[in-house]
Amino acid sequence: MFSPIPAGDGGPVGVILHVFTSLFHGDLSNVLFRSNQLPSVFGLLITAGVLLILVYTQGIKIEIPIVSTKYRGFSAVYPIKLMYVSNIPVILASALTANAVFMGQLLWAHFNSHNNNLLLNFVGMFDPTSPSTPTGGILYYVTAPRGLDVVALDPMRAVLYVLFMIGIVVLFGRLWIELGGLSAKTAAKNLLDADVQVPGFRRSNQPVEILLQKYIPSVTIIGSLILGAIAGISDVLGTFGSGTGILLTVDILINYYTLLVRERVEDVMPKLGALLGRK
């Protein structure tokens, strides 16, 4: 936003400084959109919009009432967020894509540097003058076309990339719920271990697990769909810092806020504070 480094279009890289420079010279023709994937006012507006959407969706949750079995009269809620899976699936998807491109570059450099192998061309092709980005094959469609100018050259690539991100994030979301200890069974056990119970349900794992099973699988799929769509569309539209970067930024800030809340709760009930701090 504020980088003073000179850019290829004659102005500074930072979009804010570029706007002031354009106003000073009386030329606002390239303020909204800029070439060569440089930060633009359009990108700034899209980034702000994505941040607002993420903050809003992070606040959507289902609250299950819970009461303490040790402290009479103490009640609270157990939140199941729409973004229950957090950003781990998006990080895994980005890591998978980065490693796939890296392996594709190795194969290309050693066995297909002239793009004349049909099998390896199906996996991925690269430009010998700039081998950092795929120019064809499967790898071409699973890497982000950043910026509207790049999307305009091949709109189908943008569509397939967004669909790929949605699908792979949903897959990783389902796996993360089971492997990361966030399933309904584990959540029910955590509630009972924290000396709390759900009013109207017996103090045992099975009834609480059945209750949580009504919500957790659904929010896992819906949350993963939203995260994948936001990450993919943000990359395509050229947001600042990439879609994954924005997701991480919002998640880290909200986690710090949750940490402050948990520390206040832990002053009264340490186990309950630790439980609420994980969600």
Q: Residue 32: is its pLDDT beyond 80?
A: no
Would you state the pLDDT for residue 265? 64
Q: Is residue 32 part of a domain?
A: no
What is the CATH classification number for the domain harbouring 194? 1.10.3370.10
Task: Indicate the residue type of 175.
Answer: L
Whether the CB-CB separation of 59 and 193 falls below 8 Å is answered with: no
Q: How many domains does the chain have?
A: 1
| pTM for the whole structure | 0.81
- Does residue 28 or residue 156 have the better pLDDT? 156
What are the E-state strand segments in the chain?
61-68, 75-81, 125-127, 130-136, 196-197
Would you state the pLDDT for residue 225? 93
Q: Is residue 167 part of a domain?
A: yes
**Beta carbons within 8 Å of 62's beta carbon, 6+ residues apart:** 79, 80, 215, 219
Q: Is residue 227 part of a domain?
A: yes
Q: Is residue 100 part of a domain?
A: yes
Give the range of the structural domain holding residue 102, as residue numbers without chain letter: 61-277
pLDDT of 72-88, one tens digit each? 767 778 888 888 888 88
Q: Is residue 234 part of a domain?
A: yes
Q: Give residue for tokens 């810092």.
A: 241
Q: Is residue 35 part of a domain?
A: no
Q: Is residue 42 part of a domain?
A: no
Would you state the pLDDT for residue 211? 87
Q: Is residue 46 part of a domain?
A: no
* DSSP assignments along 214-278, one per residue: TTHHHHHHHHHHHHHHHHHHHHHHT-TTHHHHHHHHHHHHHHHHHHHHHHHHHTT-HHHHHHHHT
Angle between the 242-266 and 216-237 helix axes, to the nearest 10 degrees? 140
